Amino acid sequence: MSGLGGLNKSPNGLVIGLVQLQLPVVRTPADLAAQTERIVAMVGKARRSMPTMDLVVFPEYALHGLSMDTSAELMCSLEGPEVAAFKDACAANRIWGCFSIMEKNPGGNPFNSGLIIDDEGELKLYYRKLHPWVPVEPWEPGDLGVPVIEGPKGAKIALIICHDGMFPEMAREAAYRGAEIMLRTAGYTAPIRHSWRFTNQSNAFCNLMVTASVCMCGSDGTFDSMGEAMVCNFDGTVVAHGTSGRPDEIITAEVRPDLVREARANWGVENNIYQLGHRGFVAVQGGASDCPYTYMTDLAAGRYRLPWEGEVKVTDGTGEGFDAPTRRFGERRREAAE
């Protein structure tokens, strides 16, 4: 890593800007439109402040705030005016952008979705959060897997959202599918600061992958988001870290996908993403490629159950004021099906 956060960009460098966006209050469609305009303006700020920037990343909840309001009038769609405005902003400023929307879902609760749009205004990545932050979040669990795209400079990029990053399986899936850079957008508040930091680092190191992560920032009068933009190198070291907690600050870093590829090809010791499927290759040719992990085989077979499963107290959102769900995953709401 070099170049003072992208000010002196190397030929193989990719400059990422992480926006510690001020946490908004969005209660009405007019608020939603105003916040859309604010995000568009920040895309322009990103381009003006760092002409070398390749990708600007906005946090989860950048558009909707932390109200968890699922009102239909506030939900977005890929064809809606909010996404159209983001596409126009990326094209006008010739920059890639990562954005967050709460997405309409006629078959159930809304999805918490992330988008990556290229510098010509084309949607390149579309992801639905696999692991909502239960029991607090009401969002439908995602159903699109963990997509990986070819981003600026040919870098392979994945996107996960907030709580997803607490599951090491998410980062491993992204890396297994080829991601060299994994973005993690979030709305986390201060109590999560410590675990946010070490999971961003461990997700990077365990998969020889750059991680670039950012939260909302500041207060909305009820919640206080922490900013905490972080870029971690593939060896787990922190390249850039937004520790000031200053809303609307854009933390920048230059990352090197070519060095990720080099490490993945040449590391012996601690090449863990490779060694997972080639256990003990010094002793046996090619290593063992079986799956000795019962949690994996049980989950794949639909029989995942913890030894203490019956003792778990919080298994729905009723304690947070949500109705107990009646649908199973994959089923549609009755009114939507009729």
Q: What is the pLDDT of residues 281-330, one digit of tens each?
A: 999 999 999 999 999 999 999 999 999 999 999 999 999 999 999 999 99
Statement: residue 244 has pLDDT above 90: no
Q: What is the pLDDT of residues 250-263, one digit of tens each?
A: 999 999 999 999 99
Q: What is the mean pLDDT of the chain?
A: 96
The proportion of the chain whose per-residue pLDDT surpasses 90, expressed as a percent, equals: 95
Domains of the chain with CATH codes: 4-270 (3.60.110.10)
Alpha helices in the chain (DSSP H): 29-49, 81-93, 168-176, 193-205, 257-266, 272-275, 294-300, 334-337
CB neighbourhood size of 85 (10 A): 17
Query: Looking at per-residue confidence, does 336 or 124 come out higher?
Result: 124
Q: What is the pLDDT of residues 157-177, one digit of tens each?
A: 999 999 999 999 999 999 999
pTM of the predicted protein model = 0.96
Please give the structure tokens belonging to residue 14.
Answer: 């990719």
Average pLDDT score over residue span 101-117: 97
Residues found in the chain: 338
| Catalytic residue check, 129 | yes
Secondary structure tally for the chain: helices H, strands E: 8, 14
pLDDT at 5: 87
Give DSSP secondary structure letters for 223-292: -EEE---EEE-TTS-EEEE--S--TTEEEEEEE-HHHHHHHHHH--TT-HHHHTTSBTTTTSTT-B-S--
| Catalytic residue check, 60 | yes
Average pLDDT score over residue span 140-153: 98
Statement: residue 1 has pLDDT above 60: no
What SS3 class is residue 31?
A: helix
What SS3 class is residue 182?
A: strand
Q: What single-letter DSSP state applies at residue 318?
A: G
Statement: residue 2 has pLDDT above 80: no
pLDDT at 137: 98
Q: What single-letter DSSP state applies at residue 167?
A: S
Quickly state the pLDDT bin for 335 (edges 50, 70, 90). Answer: low
- Report the amino acid identity of residue 145: G
Options 129, 137, 140, 217, the catalytic residue = 129
Options 9, 60, 137, 173, the catalytic residue = 60
pLDDT at 257: 97
pLDDT at 197: 97
Options 76, 162, 215, 217, the catalytic residue = 162
